[in-house]
Amino acid sequence: MPFELGSSRGSAPLNFVLVAVPLLLLAFSVVGISLTTLVRNQLVDSAIEGARYAALADQTSVDGCARAKAVVVATVAKKLDLQVSCFNTSSLGLEQEVVQLTLRVPALGLLPANQLIKAVGHATRELQR
């Protein structure tokens, strides 16, 4: 008689599956959120770096765009869809360099597919003498 009424024989695999599946989903979600947060922080730092570089007296907005893109490619996204835009604005007699980075991230864990991460960096342009 392989199974008796009221015995717990054979319940270990079922218990393992009932615990392992939610645990794996939770683990993959935590890893996905952590990676997305890392990418976002790198994107923000790269946008700020590009804006500061563009704001130097001997640089232009194009140089800041190139610098921001180089930093992102070197740290995070070699093959991801990165969009970089740079421009300068003027208010109250001060020029500001603005670098905007937008990155499309594929699905990680339970996060939605093709999530957009945006970062903007601002820096006041140095005065030329």
Give the integer Cα–Cα distance in Å for 107 and 77: 15
For the cut 70, the answer to whether the pLDDT of residue 112 exceeds it is no
Q: Which regions of 49-114 does DSSP assign to beta strands (E)?
A: 81-91, 94-105
Digit-coded pLDDT (tens) for 9-34: 778 888 899 999 999 988 888 888 88
- pLDDT value of residue 7: 72
Digit-coded pLDDT (tens) for 41-97: 999 999 999 999 999 988 888 999 999 999 998 988 677 788 899 988 887 888 899
